[in-house]
């Protein structure tokens, strides 16, 4: 268990703050693009 925790700490220490910001920015852009392309009302469902 100690080895797994030590490995986890080593892995998380390598993660850079800029990498997290870049991933969040890419995710936000992807959600924006998907949201723009989504139809407002496809005519499916109850009226």
Tens-place pLDDT, residues 33-45 = 888 776 666 666 5
Count Cβ atoms below 10 Å from residue 20 Cβ, excluding itself.
10
pLDDT at 42: 60
Model pTM above 0.75: no
Angle among Cα 31, 35, 41 to the nearest 5 degrees reads 155
Mean pLDDT, rounded, of the chain: 81
Q: CA 25 to CA 9: how far, in whole Å?
A: 25
Provide mean pLDDT across the span 19-47: 80
pLDDT of 1 above 70: yes
Mean pLDDT, residues 13-25 taken together = 86
């Amino acid at each position: 268990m100690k080895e797994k925790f030590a490995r986890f700490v080593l892995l998380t220490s390598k993660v850079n703050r800029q990498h997290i910001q870049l991933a969040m920015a890419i995710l936000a852009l992807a959600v924006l693009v998907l949201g723009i392309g989504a139809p407002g009302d496809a005519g499916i469902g109850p009226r």
